[in-house]
Homo-oligomer: A and B are copies of this chain.
């Protein structure tokens, strides 16, 4: 059985397991105060080319979204997101659980346009009764988006300028950030993100780690007593070393970018393959997720030999499925898939 259903179906990069074993016997202090966390933060700051960046490690993506959003919003604010945003759809109400509304806006291939956000903000402040409504207090985007698409540098800067104009933070969910950065079609590098965004996270779970996301506050804007907030949310890992060692490894010798490129290279081969064989693409996706429109009976046959991800019904006879590559996808797997297609 081949596995192309997601980018988190294998364990961790070998170097991570090796470092976990090497450091295993050392007694280390808890809750993220160990030296590996410190080293990892330093390396992330360097990769970001932002010496002011403050880095915190959390375990998973929904947890990170919940905590960052809850920590940065005041109690009467909500977060603006695309209708297709992970926080809008697939986090079981984790944002509302903390008392905050997700204010959803229309999207284009998973992306929020600055113009759309501006209209929302203008309408809100233009409404005489806006004090009876949820204040928009943050803009959330994912990059790559849930549709595998990427913001251009210019689009990010437009959204950022708009957020500054309205005095609200701009937050990027980077669950798959590595794959976005490694795309051949992007003009956005990590230092750009660390300059443009108010806060973002560098996904580990989907890019080589067993678990872990690195939240980066870019201009000394970590919310006060953030550790207490993390604890209050049940998210403070006692053995912070598990996150520190992993991110220290990922940010040593450029490993994070190197393994991200593997996902892009294997995806590129796969895209070429689909193109040659005349498959229909839902959209042009520049990173590691490929959305293909399949006839239903063909999908049924395929599913017997390949795990793919159901995305949405296209029409009566067709279904959109997602093929995802990852840091761990091998050319052998691609070739095996080629045989089947």
A18-58 CB mask vs B (1 if < 8 Å, else 0) is 00110111111110000000000000000000000000000
A263-306 CB mask vs B (1 if < 8 Å, else 0) is 00000000000000000000000000000000000000000000
State the majority secondary structure of interface residues on A: loop
A102 to B205, CA, bound (A): 30
A11 within 8 A of B: yes
Our pick among B29, B62, B241 for the contact of A231 (Cβ within 8 Å) is B62
The answer to whether B94 and A96 have CB atoms under 8 Å apart is no
Q: Which candidate, A127-135, A153-161, A188-196, is the interface stretch facing chain B?
A: A127-135
Closest approach, in angstroms, between the C-beta of A111 and any C-beta of chain B? 21
Our pick among B23, B90, B99, B236 for the contact of A96 (Cβ within 8 Å) is B99
The answer to whether B225 and A239 have CB atoms under 8 Å apart is no
Q: Give chain A's interface residue range (CB within 8 Å of chain B).
A: 35 or more
Q: Known: A231-B92, A233-B94. Contact between A239 and B75, CB under 8 A? A: no
A70 within 8 A of B: yes
Our pick among B67, B93, B238 for the contact of A101 (Cβ within 8 Å) is B93
The answer to whether A239 and B211 have CB atoms under 8 Å apart is yes
Closest approach, in angstroms, between the C-beta of A271 and any C-beta of chain B? 21
Chain B residues contacting A64 (CB-CB under 8 Å) are 234
Chain B residues contacting A227 (CB-CB under 8 Å) are 131
